[in-house]
Amino acid sequence: MVWILNSVGCALFYAFHGAYSKKLLKDGWNEYILLWFTFIGGIPFLIIPFLFVPFPQLNSTFWIVLFSGIGGNSLAFVLYFKAIKETELSISIPLVSITPLFMLLTSYLILSEVPDITGITGILLVIAGCYTLGIFPNGYNFLQPFKNLWEDKGARYAILVALIWSVTANLDKVAVLNSSPFAYPLIFNIFFPIPFSALVLGKIKRHKEQFQLKAVLSLIFLGFLNAVMVISQMVAIELALASYVITIKRSGMVVSVLIGWLVFKEKRGFHHMLSASIILFGIMLVLLFH
Residue range 87-140, pLDDT digits in tens: 888 888 888 877 767 766 765 664 455 667 776 777 777 777 777 776 665 555
List the alpha helices (DSSP H) in 178-212: 183-191, 197-206
Buried b (16+ CB within 10 A) or exposed e, 216-255: eebbeebbbbbbbbbbbbbbbbbbbebbbbbbbbbbbbbb
pLDDT tens, position by position, 53-76 = 999 999 999 999 999 889 888 999
Burial of 41 (0-12, 13-18, 19+ CB in 10 A): buried
Cα-based distances in Å from 269 to 158, 263, 280: 19, 11, 16
Alpha carbons 180 and 187: distance in angstroms, whole number: 11
Identify the pLDDT of residue 210.
67
Alpha-carbon span 66 to 183, nearest angstrom: 11
- Cα separation, 49 vs 65, in Å, equals 22
The rounded distance, in Å, linking the Cα atoms of 29 and 210 is 9
DSSP state of 180: -
Stretches in the chain below the pLDDT threshold 70: 100, 103-104, 106-115, 119, 134-144, 209-210, 241-244, 246-247, 286-290
By C-alpha distance, which of 155, 101, 165 is closest to 127?
A: 101
Q: Supply the pLDDT for residue 134.
A: 65
pLDDT for 111 equals 46
∠ CA 8-9-13, nearest 5°, is: 120
Residue 127's pLDDT is what? 74
CB 249 within 8 A of CB 169: no
The domain segmentation of the chain, as residue ranges, is 2-289
